[in-house]
Amino acid sequence: MNFTRGESHVLESVVAAAQLLGVDLDAKQQAQFQRYRELIELRSKQFNLTGHKTWDKIREELFIRSLRVLSPAGGNVPTPEWFAGKRAIDIGTGAGIPGMIMKIALPDLQMTLLDSIGKRTNFLIEVANELELTGLEIINGRAEDLGQERGHREQYDVVVARAVARLAELAELTIPFAKVGGTVILPKSQGVQDEVEEAAAAAELLGTAPALVLEVDKPGTSPPDDMVYWMKISTTHREFPRRVGIPHQSPLILQSDDE
């Protein structure tokens, strides 16, 4: 695929962002990012894929900000190499954020994209076909249902979800997918500590160690993210996740004795 000078210039920032994380995008991957961008712009005109309509916003808020999930923050926090050969799932992926970005950047990553809206999953199937991606599963469904299925329950090394709910609700929608020893990674806007404390009892009940929260401000020029990490240390009780809608209506929040 040949790029115009302008396209080549703006794509260079995506390449540089990936390099900052230790990921070198080859010509094929760069072409995949470019085509993905074109498909997002094209299909967003037909139905609401994302609120970001310009290439500048797509590049910064969707592409580069999604790469932060791969940020090498040190210690037990995953680096790009840590993801190699892992099985991951993106809950409530929407237009493929961040799961599709992770898959293009790390082709060996076995990725499942889950969304409840058929138009979005149909779009993702189109993207997968156009980009000739393998090792990618796209599912139209609800986390509450899929999280109870044998082929998906406690089968993933990495579980991600971006901006789909508060942490107390996300805990029940994500943790049941992680195998013991797996990690749930949740990018959130800054100032997440109240949510972390609110969700602490739920995370413990569902089988994780206390959350690790790290500020990640690179790559890109978007505001810093608070990256929330939950490490799965014990199996999740069969009761969870509960039926569709219940985690949203009645999240697992510890009530005080006088309530």
| Annotated binding-site positions for S-adenosyl-L-methionine | 92, 143-144, 162
Q: At what angle do helices 27-44 and 118-131 cross, to 10 degrees?
A: 150
Which of these, 149, 151, 127, lies nearest to 138 by C-alpha position?
127
Q: At what angle do helices 5-20 and 27-44 cross, to 10 degrees?
A: 110
Name the binding residues: 92, 143-144, 162
**Where are the extended beta strands (E) located within the chain?**
87-91, 110-115, 136-140, 156-160, 178-189, 212-216, 225-231
H/E segment holding residue 251: none
Cβ-defined contacts of 252-258 (< 8 Å, 24+) = 252/168, 252/171, 252/172, 252/199, 252/201, 252/202, 252/205, 252/206, 253/168, 253/198, 253/199, 253/201, 253/202, 254/200, 254/201, 254/202
